[in-house]
Structure 1
Amino acid sequence: MSSFFAYLKSKSFITNVFLAAVTVLVVVLIIIFSLNYYTRHGSGIPVPKLIDMQIGRASALLDNQGFAYKIDSVYLPDREPGTVVQQDPDPGTNVKENRTIYLTVITKLAPNIGLPDLENTTFREATATISNAGLKLGDTTYRSDIALNHVLEVRFAGQKIQAGAKLPKGSRIDLVLGDGKGASEVDIPDLTNQELDAAKFAISGAGLTVGTITYEGSITDSTKVVVKSQSPMKTDSTTKTSIGTRINLTVSQGN
């Protein structure tokens, strides 16, 4: 054992350890410099700034500098078609020759999207849905209906359209909303020969009011009283009356 420790302290052992360490260091340095040379670490061509440039000019610049490129498109209604809006890698990045540069360019043709279902939604809900779908709100008009500020119809270019209709992205659509008042006039129901209870139900259902009831002749069975005439009555020239109008009835004993 003493001879082993004596060897560790010997000049030859120390010399061998030193030479081994130097050898390892040299090998590591050779590997590092070889990799740097092979990969051209820290060298390359800076990518030019292409954003906001027209694609024709951008592609010519890339061709002159030896870059390849691929183009994707996006539709933005408020920007000029053909403008580069994104690039990868970023401007100023050092890359090798023939590196592919990815560009996103504004297209002229808007993609078609499906109209979301807006009927019976509130105006606020419809506005948010329209924006999220990539559409724009056009004109709003009102129509007599008890549903205040609810969408009754959706129109595009003057025509009524249904949910799912294909429209160019960014299109303006018009909404027809309820005014909360309902119709000012309703159809006059024809009550002749109807039993009195059925006539009363029809009057109420039409938004009208039962007026004076005049009985003709003797009434022997109150469950079989029928309408003989009414006022106002439906004619060729008069088919509607104001909502809430009193309908007067003349009734008699039915069979």
Structure 2
Amino acid sequence: MTSREFFHKFNSTYIWGNILAIVILVLILSIGVRFGLDYYTLHGESIVVPNVIHKQYDDAVDIMDKVGLTIEVTDTGYVKELPADCILEQSPAGGKRVKSTHVIYVTINAASAPSLVIPDIIDNNSLREAQAQLLSMGFKVGEPEYIPGEKDWIYGILVNGKHVQAGDRVPSDAVIVLQVGDGTRQISDTAGLNEPEYEDVEVEEKVPKYDEVEEYVEVPVDENGNEIKDSRGRSGANSSGPSSQSGLPTDPSSVRSKE
């Protein structure tokens, strides 16, 4: 084939027609992709996100519907001062521009505080370790209460003034009070841990009654201290009479009259 024949075929209408068709097809595809993507992604169209923080969930849904947005709950929290189903957080935040197909994610307020499980820290941890563990779990830890024991050792847990044990569930907003040793006793010192308790008993001193007083007889004596005997030679102590029978001392005046 000579060069003249080659250029003659190259300049034929058939070839140029095919080239033109290919160029037109590429242009159509380019334009279609350009405007098609704009239409699919809603290019140039945006909606300002309403702020629904602290609004009730049902009210927030109505507000989002009016502007063409949807709302979805992703999490719950708890704020004691706010009512249940109140919006606590939203993403994206109010005031930002988004597409109409964008979903607004919200966190709502729970009706009651969630409960948390008390970990096994009693007689197992020091004060610093226990505080770090409780805080990482979401507990609120108050000032410790010091009791006799090894310094900074955990002996108990109080919630609202009551003792709790490992495994008990308590509200997450409750304040945990740790009972901690004040260092007045070493952990190996068992003295005083199991000491028996004694009650103070008042002992009543027994006072002897009059009837229980030992009987005695007074022996009459004269001025010189000699024992006075009766006419029969018997001692006055052995004489029978009212005074000796009753066991009471003899009246000295009666003795003198006899003399």
TM-score, L = length of structure 1: 0.60
Residue of 66, 70, 73 corresponding to 1:71: 73
Whether the 8 Å contact between 1:73 and 1:107 is mirrored in structure 2 is: no
Partner of 2:214: none
Moved over 6 A (4+): none
Q: After superposition, give the CA deviation of every residue in 1:29-65 in whole Å (9 maximum; x if it has no partner).
A: 4532562475263154414143634235533321322
The CA deviation at 1:155 is 1.0
Letter in 1 for 2:63: L
CA distance in 2, matches of 1:50, 1:174: 39
Contact 1:49 1:92 in 2 (8 A): no
* Structure 1 residue runs without a partner (length 5+): 190-205, 207-233, 239-255
> C-alpha separation between the residues in 1 aligned to 2:197 and 2:182?
30
1:135 corresponds to which residue?
139
Q: Distance in 1 between matches of 2:167 and 2:119?
A: 6
Match of 1:92 among 68, 90, 97: 97
In structure 2, C-alpha distance between the alignment counterparts of 1:188 and 1:69, rounded to whole Å? 61
Which amino acid counterpart does residue 69 of structure 1 have in structure 2? I
Superposed, 1:1-255 pairs within 5 Å as: 1-2=1-2, 5-7=6-8, 9-10=10-11, 12=13, 15-29=16-30, 31-32=32-33, 35-36=36-37, 39=40, 41-50=42-51, 52-55=53-56, 57-77=59-79, 80-81=82-83, 82-87=86-91, 91-96=96-101, 100-119=103-122, 120-145=124-149, 147-182=150-185, 186=191, 236=198
Q: Contact conserved, 2:140 with 2:174, CA < 8 A, in 1?
A: yes
Change (3 A) 1:61 1:143: same
CA distance in 1, matches of 2:115, 2:20: 74
SS in 2 for 1:95: coil
Q: Which amino acid is 1:112 matched to?
A: S
Q: After superposition, what is the alpha-carbon deviation per residue over 1:163-190, rounded to whole angstroms, capped at 9, x for unaligned?
A: 111111132111110112218994599x
| Structure 1 residue 5 displacement after superposition | 3.5
**Would you say how many aligned residue pairs link Structure 1 and Structure 2?**
192
Q: Pick closer, same or farther for the CA change 1:157–1:188 going to 2, 3 Å.
A: closer
1:50–1:87 Cα contact (<8 Å) kept = no
Amino acid of the residue matched to residue 163 of structure 1? A
Root mean square deviation, CA, Å: 3.7
- 1:181 counterpart SS class: coil
Structure with the bigger percentage of strand: 1
Structure 2 counterpart of 1:68, one-letter code: T
For 2:71 and 2:168, the matched residues in 1 are separated by 37
Bigger shift: residues 148-157 or 6-15: 6-15
Q: Which amino acid aligns with 2:64?
A: L
Q: In the superposition, relative to structure 1, how do residues 89 and 182 fare at CA in structure 2: closer, same or farther (>3 Å)? A: closer
Letter in 1 for 2:7: A
- Deviation, 1:10, is 1.9
Q: Which amino acid aligns with 2:23?
A: V
C-alpha distance 53-160 of structure 1, shift in aligned 2 (>3 A): closer
- TM superposition shift of 1:100: 4.4
In structure 2, what is the Cα distance between the partners aligned to 1:58 and 1:129?
A: 37
